[in-house]
Amino acid sequence: MNLPIRPRRNRKNAALRALVRETILSPSNFILPLFVMEGKNEKSAIRSMPGVFRVSRDLVVAEAKRARKLGIPAVALFPVIADRKKDKRATESKNRDGLLQKTIRDLKNAVPEIAVITDVAMDPYSSDGHDGLVKSGSILNDETLPILADMALNQARAGADIVAPSDMMDGRVGYIRQALDKSGFTDTGILAYSAKYASAFYGPFREALDSAPKHGDKKTYQMDPANRREALREVKLDVAEGADMVMVKPALPYLDILSDIKTAVDVPVAAYHVSGEYAMIKAAGKLGWLDADKAMMESVLSIKRAGADMILTYAAVELAESLSS
Ligand code: PBG
């Protein structure tokens, strides 16, 4: 057949495929999320996230060491707060000797090479289970900002390298930046969860932290999954307010957003491959309906291809292991 152009020639063997590969996934692209709980040498399974555990501080250190050895540069910490410590104003988040603060200090002592990222939002500490302050059923924006700034300061003081506001209140990045700078934390970075959608894919995470909203949903602050242009508006605002990096969340169902943002801003772009995305693949794997390891690698590769410079994924360790073998 007269067919001068044959794309298959570039796929003929593994060597050629390696030569023309456009996206290379590396452990240095990963951020490992970790759930930390009170106790010593304790670990508790999360029903909907096979292979992921809530672990005590000593085991967080062990996990971080393992991650570091595999070339993973950062962890993102999420504390499990006891119900009796939760209140409407997330007061426990100001505790200088809180679970999260102790964990950050442990990590900085034991594994100083790994970057520590902490989440800024009220939900793990709030008796209402919302990211902002609730009054008569509404989530108050401006009244929430000082609470978030105190929380971020308390994380920076303990040694967090990067604080990551995931609350979606308006103006929080600028407010937190100012608060950090005023207290001398000019080197603490901000990774803004800029395009964070009101998603059904956070279910397993909320189970892990027991942090689901007690009333209503998060649709008045998290974005409508139907919207694409609005993500650019959010991202540009956060960059103007001083975000060092921005994030899209969830990841795989939002690759169009990721791709748009990558071309619209010049700061690094992160994507959060969230709990529900992880759970789906693990569940299908358990049922024998697909090869979970391959599907996980393909998902995370696709997230990088779409534009993510870094990816928060619960599969970071298993992916790093398979990339280095
Ligand atoms: C807290 C927060 C959530 C996630 C990260 N930070 C939950 C939420 O907004 O309800 C979800 C992460 C995941 O599902 O893996 N605001």
Residues 54-100 have pLDDT tens digits of 999 999 999 999 999 999 999 999 999 999 999 999 999 999 999 99
Residue 180, ligand 1, Cβ within 6 A? no
Candidates 39, 59, 76, 161; CA nearest to 112 is 161
Candidates 194, 153, 189; CA nearest to 171 is 194
Mean pLDDT, all residues of the chain: 97
Atom of ligand 1 nearest to the CA of 278: 15
CB–CB of 231/248 below 8 Å? yes
CA distance 178 to 152: 11
pLDDT at 134: 97
**If pLDDT is split at 50, 70 and 90, which confidence band does 305 have?**
very high
Is pTM beyond 0.85? Reply is yes
91 three-class SS: helix
Nearest CA to ligand 1 atom 11: 202
Please return the burial class of 286, using the count of CB atoms within 10 Å of its CB with bins 0-12, 13-18 and 19+: exposed
**If pLDDT is split at 50, 70 and 90, which confidence band does 325 have?**
confident
DSSP state of 38: S
Residue 166, ligand 1, Cβ within 6 A? yes
> What residue type is assigned to position 172 of the chain?
R
pLDDT at 57: 98
> Which residues are catalytically annotated?
196, 249
Residue 121, ligand 1, Cβ within 6 A? yes
- Cα 238 to Cα 1, 177, 181, 263: the distances in Å are 56, 11, 16, 16
CA distance 270 to 306: 11
CA distance 257 to 239: 16
Question: Around 99, how many Cα atoms within 13 Å sit in the side-chain half-sphere?
Answer: 22
- What are the φ/ψ torsions at residue 35 (nearest 5 degrees)? -95, 120
